[in-house]
Each structure stands twice: as structure tokens, then as C-alpha cells.
Structure 1
Amino acid sequence: MKPFNRYTLRVVIPYAVFSALWILLSDKILEALISDTATLTSLSIYKGWLFVLVTSLLLVGLMRRQWQVRQRDFARLEAHVAERTRELAETSRFLDALVDHISSPIFYKDATLRFKGCNRAYEQAFGVSREQFMGKTVLELAYLPQADRDVYQAEDAAMLASGQTLSREAVMPFADGREHQTLYSVSGFRAPDGSPGGLVGIIVDITPLKEAEAALREAKHAAEAADRIKSAFLATMSHELRTPLNSIIGFTGIILQGLPGPLNDEQKKQIGMVRNSARHLLSLINDVLDISKIEAGELTIAHEPFELAASIHKVAGMVRPLADKKQLPLRMEVDEGLSPMTGDVRRVEQILLNLLSNAVKFTDSGSVTLAVRKVQGYTGPAVRISVTDTGVGMAPEHLTELFQPFRQIDSALTRRYEGTGLGLAICQRLATMMGGQIEVKSRLGEGSEFSVTLPCDVQGTRT
């Protein structure tokens, strides 16, 4: 406590000033008024008594005034404390109500690891009232197995000492008789002086989430099994259909050659239509077989050396008659000195043939350009094969559907241009399997550019 405060000084200073003035001026005043020495001596005695009386009255007046000041200050302080107490009580009630409305069980403990409170969700989850466990430790909670109580007590003690947070999954028996999967979290906090203050814990019931995850996994496994069965069925049926189709193509070829006998023009036309239809159906079945093998994880990528330039000219020669029929120039821009590639020549040619055939099919005027460039890929030397056309093009919102199996972006185009929507899906999957990627740029009514980048050394892989 300080020796002097502002209230003491308000009494001491006036008293000291008055006493000093009395001592300095009283004798001089008496001497000026009275010249008789005997009378001065007698009055000096009365002067002392008067000094005591006057200063006593002064002290009483000063102290009373300061007491009134102190009383007013105390009253203001008392009103402020009452207001703050009321505010804190309202805040406490608000926080209690807020915690009570949280759906997850919440509890808190003091520095001795004894329960000091919980919310309504905790009471409902474990079928207990606050009065039943207030002041107890977790070791005294009968609704928890003994082994679990020991674990929780040890964890609580560690978090209290460290002031850190522990979060883990835990299985807890709830009041409904079931064991619930929960996310248990407990945090230690410090008192104002830095010592351990207590614990706050929250228990989040994640049983519905776990059940949903289990159901999702089961559904995923069932879907994968169904997809494998579908792919296996398609692969089997494709093999079964290819044999009679090859026979139809072969026999119609023999008939068109005139080996069994001469045909008139109408017969040649009809037999030619049969052969073309059979070839179209065989191409469709081959596509279905390829996509089925890819989805079933049964398609193998070869690892053999081949000349990319030779494959490019071979495929271009196959597509050129289709372009000539539509009077479309087929331009070639191939870098000189292309390095030999190592990979699956059949699958590379399949991608190139599909991209060139699509470019010619969807272009009625203008031209088709095939460009092959040497580039640097992620893992070493690579080639970039681009096919650019001046055809119908595509709107930006349709590009996301472009590589989906059995999808064509416009039903009107489906009627005008034959196709199943498998070709680009197969190209995209084959490019990925060979360590490459396929990209597309397109503008509606102006044309498209498909580019596939492949490493020069394609490792043999399987999906």
C-alpha cells in the first residue's frame, strides 16, 4: 500500500499550510497589537489552545470532505463493478446457451482433471446428467470401459501439462447402445499466471460419415465388378462377331472379283454395299474391342523400334483417297531427321489414322494439314503430331465431352456424319498409356486442331 495517496495529500497539504502560516504570523500579529510583555505571555498560552482547536476543526472539515469524495468514488466503483458483473453474467449465460446448442458433445475440466461442466449434447450422448459426473475424473465414469478410462486420463494429463491439442479417432459407447465412431479432441489451456488451467474437449460423431464411406466403397467395388463384367462381355462378343464379319468381307471380295461367275453392274453395286457395310461394322467392333480391353486393363503396349516417318506416310496414303474424293488438299509438314521411335507402331498409327480420318470427315472445304515436330518432352525427346482442319469446328462448352466413349457432341452432326464416338476416346486413352497426351483447339465454324505428344521411347505398359 502506498504511504500517501491523493486523499491523504488533500488533508495533509492544507493542514501543513495553515500550521505554517499560524506559526509565522500569529506572534507578529500579537506583538503588533499588544506591547505589554505579561499580557503577551498570557495570550501565548491561549494562542496554543486556540491553535489546537482551530486545527482540529480544520482537520475534521478536511477529512469529512475527503470522506465524502471517497464515498462518491466508492459508489461509482461499486456501480461499475455491478454493471460489469451483470455484463459478465449475461455473457456467461450467452456462452452457456451457445455451447448447449452445439450438436457435438463438449466438456471441460479443471487443473485437477475433474469435470467442471458440459453441454446438453454430452448429456444426451452418454445418457447422464451433469450432476452425476461434476467433480469426478474420467477414471470414475462407469459408462466408459476401464481400459478406455486409463487411456483418456493419461492423454488428458499430457495435454494439460503441455497445453497442446490431441485429436484422434475413438470408438465410444453412446446411450443408444451402439458404439459410435468419433473424432475425439482435447486441448489444454493455461491460467493467467502461466500454470495449467484446465482442459476443453469435443467429441464429433463421425459414424454417419464412416457408414457413408463404407457404402460408397461397396458401391464402388460393385460398379468396378460390373464394369469388368461388361468389358469382358463386350470383348467376348466382339471376338464372336469378328469371325462371321471377316467371312462376309472375304466372300463378298471373291464374288466381286468374279471368281464364281460374272456379275452385272447392279449386282456389283449391291455386293459392294454389303462389303462396305461389313467393313464399317467390323471397324466398329474393333473399336468396341479396344475400349473394352482398355477399361478392363487388358490392353498391352508393345515396346519395339520403328520408323515414325514411314508410319506417317503410310497413314497419309490411306487417308489421301478420302481427301481426294472431297477435293481437299492434304498437306504434310514433317521435320527432317525424325529419330526412330521405340513403342507400339500399331497404336501410334491407329491414333494418327483416327485423327486424319476425322479431319477429312468433318471438313467439306478448305484443307487438312498434318504437321510432325521434334520437341522436348517431360522425360526426354518427343514428337508432336498435329492435325489441323478447316471444318465445322466445335463450341468451347462441347470440348469437355469430346473424349467420352459413345458421345458425339451434336446430334445433327451424328446424323450427317457417321460415327460411334469411340475413336477420340480410344486415342486419348492410348496416348495416356504411352506416356503422352492429346490436346485440342477448336472454334465453331472455323475448324479444329488435334495435337498428340508422344515420347520417342514409349515403355511397354498395361492399363
Structure 2
Amino acid sequence: MSVDGGKTGSRAARTIDLRSWARALRPERAGGGMREANPPARFHDGNDIRQDYPPNDRRAEVVARPSLERLLARARAGLIDEAHPFFLVSSDGRFVFANARFEEILESNEGGRFGPGVAQFGEAVGDSYRRILDEVLLTGRTVAFDEWIEVSGGRRCWRGHHFPVLDERGRIEGVGAIYVDVTREVIERREAIRARRRFNDFARASGDWFWEIDREGRLRYVSERFAALTGTPAALWEGRYLWEIAAPKSQGDLEAALREAIAARRPFRGVGFAMEGEDGDERICQLAGVPVFDPEDGGFQGYRGAGIDTTLAAREAERRRDAQRHLEEVLETLTRKNLELDLAHARAEAALKAKNEFLASMSHELKTPLNAIIGFAEAMGMEVFGALDERYKSYARDIGKAGRHLLGLINDLLDVSVMETANLALDLRPVCLAEVIAQALAFVRLRAEEREITVEAPKRVGKLKVMADERRLLQILVNLLTNAVKFTPAGGRIGVKLRTDRRKGVVHVIVWDTGIGIPAEAQERIFEKFHQLRDSVYSHRNEGAGLGLHISRELARLMGGEITVESEPDKGSRFIVALPLAAASS
């Protein structure tokens, strides 16, 4: 910005037009570009700045020489362009000049605005730079400001020093800015701060305390942990000898040990001494330290090290010894209890083995006559041995029914016994669901019809196959369908549905009914052995030993599946058998 009203007078008293000066700083360049040729800078009175010399002055003659003038212009341009990045802004906020170095920054900046926030001379500066300009104009002081820019080589930090440009009367005509690349300095400072914080965090978190001394043994640093231990601020220890931290009775020994180590420039460890703690109690501590040498010239600088309060360690050691003794007593008791448990376990295993052997033997002994009884009852019902009146035929049917029921109970007990010993062998192979479901429905259909219950088969089963033991899968479905018939009132419905999750490779076989349902609190207990809820769906008013659901779930799990139940009282039940889908099943 020019100052209007400049008067002609001595050279020192004249006011320089800032824009004219800026033009003078921008010599003509080949190829054009941001800067262009401009006439020589002049004072407001119109005189050429370069020819402002007294009459007959030889310098005026030299300046008048065209060749020398061009040489000086090139030299001046070279000095300006090769200096630090530099630009000028007039006091009314116009971007008036930038040297080549600053232009290079503007051209390489990939992250948007930088410096004055504009790229063309004569433009008003951006809002961000307006704040800096206003501060310089208001205070008259230099303002330093860091700016990060994105360039092809990464992010760079430039520190701009924004200073007032004054006329000869001390008035601010504009603001100049010189930029210095401080990327390395800023990064190193950040790393130093981060390292210092990291060290302080370690020092605070550590049970030890840290110190640093000079070549004479005077403390230059002691961590806050030591201040907490002694009750004296860390700053008050700085400048005192390290051995002064010791109690009077051990101060001499500590000084001698430390002076010997310092003289020899050798590390030391386990140097013990007594000191007075914050609570006034005597505390036993130890010091360890290593000598520090200048990385440049190898000169000895002092020591750095750590101290530890071994009083606390001793107390902790005593607590550990007490805990060890207590642990040994507990272990002795635990060992004795484990021996008792091992003995009880051995007895239980022996009892279980005896029970299983008994069940296996008794099942064989019971099944043989039962099969005979069932066979004779069926023969009598069929009048194989001669005609019977209706009353005796009814007796024969009841005998056969009771025999088959008892045989089913024996088979259930035998299955439970085998599963408990993990000796149940399964023949897992792809099984056609349609065939197994059809067999299971046929098994219960007659009984369902007797109770006027509708049986519904699944639709579109196709050739869907699961990995299962076919006989055991049929056993599961028959158990579930039998229960559905058993606990569904006349006029109700039962059936089977399928749901396939090919993403998870699972088929859900859903056995449903419209029966009286199962309370939520009983839905897990019904899978327990011998469990029958009184006054509920699985009560003793229905036949059975309470093993069917337990056996079914265990069999499903052995085949890699699961059985769950969804039910509400008076709304029926859904028993969901999840089984792995066989490969290439359609």
C-alpha cells in the first residue's frame, strides 16, 4: 500500500511505494509465469529509486550504465529468489509480491491454500491470513505461525515469520513474511515431548524411582515417585548430592560407595542405605546406576539410575512367605480331599459299572421271556391255538400291549446305560429324510386315528439327506411323535415340517402338535433323566419312565445335532431337531 502525499526531499525522508517496490523486485523472466516485467520502482515523487543519488555522484553514472543495471537486476533477483521463501502483503490486504522460492511452494502444495491464501498478485488475502495480518498491523510485532502443506514428498511444516514493513516515519505500509522449513525440528520436538511423556509415564507407573546426577554427584533430576516416598517435592532435591538422601547413620557409607563408582566411571548395583520415609519410619533402599557419556566427544557427564525401596519388598516377601505357608496348608487339605474324592469316584465308577453290567444282564434276562410273552399274546389274539371269546382276546391284547411297553422301558434303560459309558456306536451316513419321516408317521398314525388326531406330513421333502444313524434318527422321531399323540387332545393335529439352512449346512426337522403345551420353566427339565412334571404335560397320568426326551437329545448330539423346544401352555409345542445336511443333498 502506498502512502499518499509523499513530498520531495532528501533520500532518507522519502516514502517508498510498496507496490512499486514489489514490482522492482520482480524482474522480467523468460517464459512469463506468475511474475512479469515491470518498470523500475519509484518514490512517490516519481524519481527512480536506483538513481536517487546526489548530482555528479559516480554511482549515478554507474547505475546509468544499461549493462551494469541489468547485471545488478539479475543479481538482485537471484539473491531474492534463492533466499528463504518470501512474500509481501500491503496493509489493505493485497498480495503484492512473492519470490521464486515461495512460488515453488505454492506450485508444489497439494493440500489447498497456503500463506496468504491466494495465488495471484493483487488479490485480497484469505480469511486465515487476514487474522495474522490484523495482528501484525495492530501490535506492530512479528508473528510466527506454523503451516503444514501436502507435497509429493509428504507433509512439510513451514514456519512463517510475519513482520511489519515500515516507512521512514515508522508507519506500517504492509507485512512481509519469510518462511523456514521446520519440518524436522517440529517432528523432533514432538518426538522429544512424546519420549519425555513416555518416560514420565514409566516413572509414575514403576515401583522404582529414577534419578540423574552430574559429574560431581549432584542431583539434576529425581522422579515424583521418590518425592512421594520422602514427602519432599522433587524440585527441592535438585542440586543436592545424591548421598544426602540417606539417613545420617548411613550417609557416609553411601557417599564413599558413590564417590568410588564416580571416580572409576563404572556401573553399580545393589548399593544399600537407610533413609527416612514420609511417615518418619526408617526404610531400607538400594541404588543402581550407569555412567553417562557425551555421544559427540565421549566426555563423562554423570550417572543415571534407579532406586528401590526394599523395605516394601521385604514386607511383601514376608507376606509371600505367609501366603506360601497358607497355600501349603490348603494344598495339603486339598490333596487329602482329592484322595477322598478319588476314592469316592472309584467307588462310583465301580457302582456305575456294576449297574450297567446288571442292566445289560437283566435286560437280556428280561427281554427273552418278555418277547415270549408278547409272542404268545399275539398268537392268542390271532387265535392260533384255537378260538377264544372276545373277553380272552381282549386280555391277550392287553398282555401284548403291556409287554411291549415294558420292553420299551427296558430298551430305554439299556440305551441310557450305554450312552453313560460312551460305548454307543453310531453308523453315520447320508440318510433320506423322506423315508425316515414316512416310517415314523406310519408308526403313530393308527394310534392318532384312534384318538381322532390328524397327522400331517411335510411337503416337498424331495431327496433331502442328513448325516445320521438311520435307526437312531427313526427312534428320535418316533419318540417325539409318540409324545405329540400322547399329549394332544382329541380333534387336535400333529405333524412334521422341514426347514433347511444351506448356508449353515443344517436341516431342522420340526415335530409339532396342537396339544396343551409346556410351561417355560419346565422346557429344559423335560430333557432330564426320569423327569416327569406332576400336574403338567409330562405327568404320571401318562405312561413312560421319563427317558424318551433325554435319550432323543443325547442321540441327536451324538450325531452332531441338537433338540430344542418352543412351546406355550394351551398353544401346542414344537420340538426342533437340528441335523447336519449331507453333502450334495438336494
TM-score (norm 2): 0.44
Alignment of 1:49-88 (within 5 A): none
What secondary structure, in the 3-state scheme, does the structure 2 residue paired with 1:245 have? helix
Which position in structure 1 is the counterpart of 2:502?
Answer: 376
Q: Is 1:226 the counterpart of 2:348 in the alignment? A: no
Change in 2 beyond 3 A, CA 1:388/1:343: closer
**Greater helix fraction, Structure 1 or Structure 2:** 1
Match of 2:573, SS? Answer: strand
Q: Does 1:395 align with 2:532?
A: no
- How far is the alpha carbon of 1:382 from its aligned partner? 2.7
Separation (CA, whole Å) in 2 of partners of 1:259 and 1:224: 49
Shift of 1:333: 2.4
Q: Given that residues 372 and 386 in structure 1 are in contact (C-alpha distance below 8 angstroms), is that contact kept between their aligned partners in structure 2?
A: yes
Aligned to 1:330: 455
Report whether the alignment pairs 1:428 with 2:553. Answer: yes
Alignment of 1:310-459 (within 5 A): 310-364=435-489, 365-376=491-502, 381-410=505-534, 413-457=538-582
Q: Using the alignment, how far apart are the partners of 2:451 and 2:461 within structure 1?
A: 29
What are structure 2's unaligned runs of at least 5 residues?
1-230, 232-269, 274-283, 289-304
- Local SS of the residue matching 1:333: coil
Picking from 330, 352, 364, the partner of 1:208 is 330
1:195 match: secondary structure: strand
Shift of 1:223: 2.6
> How far is 1:439 from its partner?
0.4
Shift of 1:418: 1.1
The 2-side partners of 1:269 and 1:361 are apart by: 22
Post-superposition Cα deviations, 1:249-304, rounded to whole Å, max 9, x if no partner, equal 11222222222111111111111111111111011111111111111222111134
Q: Aligned pair 1:235/2:360, yes or no?
A: yes
> Which structure 1 segments of 5+ residues have no match?
1-83, 85-110, 115-134, 136-156, 162-192, 459-463
How far apart, CA to CA, are the structure 1 residues paired with 2:431 and 2:415?
22
Indicate the SS of the match to 1:451: strand
Question: Structure 1 pair 394/340, CA: closer, same or farther in 2 (3 Å)?
Answer: closer
Task: Look up the equivalent residue of 2:506 and give its one-letter code.
Answer: A
Aligned length: 279
Query: Once structures 1 and 2 are overlaid, which stretch shifts more, 267-276 or 194-203?
Result: 194-203
Map 1:116-195 → 2, pairs under 5 A = 194-195=306-307
Q: Residues of 2 paired with 1:428 and 1:313: CA distance?
A: 21
Matched to 1:303, the amino acid is: L
SS in structure 2 at match of 1:259: coil
Structure 1's 213 and 388: CA in aligned 2 closer, same or farther, altered over 3 A? same
- In structure 2, C-alpha distance between the alignment counterparts of 1:417 and 1:287, rounded to whole Å: 16
- Take 1:113 and 1:324, find their aligned partners in 2: how far apart are those partners? 96
State percent identity of aligned pairs. Answer: 36
What is the deviation of 1:219? 3.1
Task: Classify the secondary structure of the residue corresponding to 1:291.
Answer: helix
Q: In 1, distance between residues paired with 2:524 and 2:433?
A: 30
Residue 377 of structure 1 and its aligned partner are, at CA, apart by 7.1
Q: Which has the higher contact order (CA 8 A, sep 6+)?
A: 1
Go from structure 1 to structure 2 and tell me whether the alpha carbon gap of 1:334 and 1:375 turns closer, same or farther (over 3 Å shift).
farther
Judge conservation of contact 1:334–1:373 (CA < 8 Å) in 2: no
In structure 2, C-alpha distance between the alignment counterparts of 1:241 and 1:113, rounded to whole Å: 85
Aligned partners of 1:225 and 1:195: how far apart in 2? 63
For the aligned residue pairs, the C-alpha RMSD in angstroms reads 3.3
| TM norm structure 1 | 0.55
SS in 2 for 1:315: helix
The 2-side partners of 1:376 and 1:227 are apart by 42
Deviation track 1:381-420 (CA, whole Å, cap 9, x = no partner) reads 3321111112121212212311111111225653321111
Q: Secondary structure at the match of 2:423?
A: coil
- Match of 1:362, as an amino acid? F
Tell whether the 8 Å contact from 1:393 to 1:442 is kept in structure 2 after alignment.
yes
In structure 1, give the amino acid aligned to 2:330.
P
* 1:257 alignment partner, one of 378, 382, 387: 382
Q: Which amino acid aligns with 2:373?
A: I
Alignment-derived partner of residue 80 in structure 2 = none
Secondary structure in 2 aligned to 1:352?
helix
Query: 1:284-303, aligned counterparts within 5 Å?
Result: 284-303=409-428
